[in-house]
Structure 1
Amino acid sequence: MNSRFPAVVIFVTAAAWAGFAVWLGTSPGALLLAFGVNVSTPQMLTEVRAFYGGVEMAIAVAMIILWRRGDVFAALLIGGLPMAGSATGRCVGMILDGFSEMHAGFAGLEIMGAVFCGVGCAMASREAKHGPANS
């Protein structure tokens, strides 16, 4: 595997977090409609903006700051752990609340993202111990 793989994963993951942050920070009602919430309150919209806009943008920014500081492992951990946690929550929800194709799809994407971040973490850890790979 290429030694640039962890950096590519950082940028793709940060872009995904930032993309969702901008989309749902500016259009919080889109998420509510996707989940069948036809009537919302200003407080609900603010909550969507806060978490999906603010927290997701913070994850993206933290990843880039950590990458710039040379801490690739931490950047990938910051990006991957929330994905793993979200996927776990979705899977538990589908067990307790019933299957949802939408949630299964989101969980699948989050699991893939978490796995890519995990592989990147393993590569960064190995590189920190043994130096850059020749491949």
Structure 2
Amino acid sequence: DFVQDFESDHARSAGSSSQSEASKVTVLAPQTWHVDWKAWQVYFDEYCEETMQVISILETMGRAERNRRLKKTKKGVNEALLIPEGLDPYQRTYICTHGWPQRKPRGSGKRPRQHIREMDCPFRFVVQWQLHKGEWKL
């Protein structure tokens, strides 16, 4: 499990003492490795349904971008550390919809919009390919 502390909005708005009250939120961490993005998505959909959360992808980093960044570092000298073909995207960053900034509609209104609940929620996590016991897994 992952426990996160954050300043309570209630404590700030109530004008209580100078010390802010902290709230703790316990989030179940993923307990398994996944062989591909499809397996991860099945697990993730079940997780969202079980926890009644709406979690969206904030950004995605492709394999080519990750390898380009890696080559600029000392680790990039070792070709074995580069992400192999077929592992695209390399990483996805997920956030709670409470953490989305308010956006102006850019479309014509034909597609449904994501439900945005802006509260500056700090919840976010990253899923990326890792070399685990000699195999690439999520």
Q: Is this a same-fold pair by TM over 0.5?
A: no
- Larger gyration radius, structure 1 or structure 2: 2
- TM-score after normalising by structure 2: 0.22
Compare the two structures and name the one with the higher strand fraction: 2
- Whichever structure has more helix as a proportion of its residues is 1
